[in-house]
Structure 1
Amino acid sequence: MNVAEELFGSHLESISLYVDILAGKGIEWGLIGPREGDRIWDRHIFNSVAISDLLSQGATVVDVGSGAGLPGLPLAILRPDLRVTLLEPLLRRATFLAETVSELGLDDSVAVVRARAEDHRQRYDAVVSRALAPLDRLLTWCGPLRRRDGIIVALKGRTAADELAAVTPELNRQGLVGAVLAVRAHPATEVTSAVRLRSR
């Protein structure tokens, strides 16, 4: 049994369809780079669901600057208990997301909202983002979307620790605590860094 089968089980067909959409329309529409086609599973899907264990059962989740639906759509497929909002300000991307959600049959658990984070007024148990912006900007955008007992989770690369150190004074001012977590979707997949912020 391969990693995708082990991870997604009965949802393998849905996630495979999403990968096909990314490899086709995602590249055609410029949402995924043309060289990414062969690396979608490792670089995008497994990376996105590496933060799954940080999300509580039945959580409301907003994916800020969702783009092609990463990490929100892989999380929604893996975890049908989640209620996921894909927040995306650009029309072209929001259109792609709405069409993809419909094609995947996820209308009951995933909503697409075309808006900037600073204009969105709902609050969520978890605010997630992937390769969106430096942590100082993310804090400004994502902070107001977090419920008081909620978390912010940003998938980051090697800069995670440095970015967290840079915003620590602001976290202290806001009564937040941050941690860099080494996460992975499966023992056979790559470790990635995620920054988690929550109330003290």
Structure 2
Amino acid sequence: MVEITPAEHAAAVKVFGSQLPLAERYVEHLATSGMERGLLGPREVPRLWSRHVLNCAVVADLIPEGSKVADVGSGAGLPGLCLAIARPDLQMTLIEPLERRVTWLNEVVADLALENVQVIRGRAEQVVDRVDVDVVTARAVSALSGLAGLTIPLLHGQGEVLAIKGRSAAEEIEKAAKQIRKLGGRQTSVVTAGEDVLEEHTTVVRIVV
């Protein structure tokens, strides 16, 4: 079992509710096969809950009910699987180019019996004609200037991008502003999620298209 502090457990109960057993099982996958297959480093295991899973799952608060959501560069399912577990009402499409990651994601989806998730192998720009969603999420994929071109086209003219970012979010927006406008982004802002449940809230760049 991955250790969870009382504060993390209280936050996890608030974020996942009745879905918490599934979230716990997902964390076990991350700490075992996920680490063994190089999806994340051993140093990340002690902070899986705070730094990764909860940090991603709180973004669910920013997504309208019943949305179709694509997660670009899903990797270890952060944030895609966290959102799918926290919000069974969402239809999640995980987009990941690397075969070993896709295999792992499919194994986890099957084990958790997540009926609201499909995994597509490919780069975001290769699957534009197969994916049309309301919301696109991404975390640790690339700087916003590059990420805009990978995410905005998947909305096909309407919806929003929610990119989990760090302290340099405002700076990234400034550098990417021209590119975002060119792709149809009408409004770009920095929003936060999880202030009421996490010690350190999650910073998100929201692009409305």
TM over 0.5, yes or no? yes
Distance 1:168 1:40, change over 3 A: same
The reply on whether 1:78 has 2:81 as its aligned counterpart is: no
2:197 maps to what in 1? 187
Aligned to 1:134: 143
Alignment correspondent of 1:7: 15
The question of 1:26 aligning with 2:16 is answered no
The equivalent residue for 2:162 is 153
SS at match of 1:35: helix
Note the 1:7-156 alignment, pairs <5 A. Answer: 7-106=15-114, 108-120=115-127, 121=129, 122-156=131-165
Aligned-pair identity (%): 43
Deviation, 1:185, is: 6.5
Give distance in 2, aligned partners of 1:133 and 1:114: 18
Q: Which TM-score applies when normalising by structure 1?
A: 0.94
Which letter does structure 2 place at the counterpart of 1:80?
P
Letter paired with 2:153: P
Decide which structure has greater strand share.
1
Residues 34, 62 of structure 1: CA spacing in aligned structure 2 closer, same or farther, 3 A cutoff?
same
Deviation per residue, 1:89-144 (Å, 9 max, x gap): 000000000000000110x2100100110100211100100011000111111121
Corresponding position of 1:171: 180
Residue correspondences, number: 198
Runs of 4+ in structure 1 off by over 4 angstroms are none
Which one-letter code corresponds to 1:187 in the other structure?
V
Structure 1 unpaired stretches of 5+: none
Counterpart of 2:6 in structure 1 is: none
Unpaired segments of 5 or more residues in structure 2? 1-8
Q: CA deviation at 1:53?
A: 1.6
TM-score, scaled relative to structure 2? 0.90
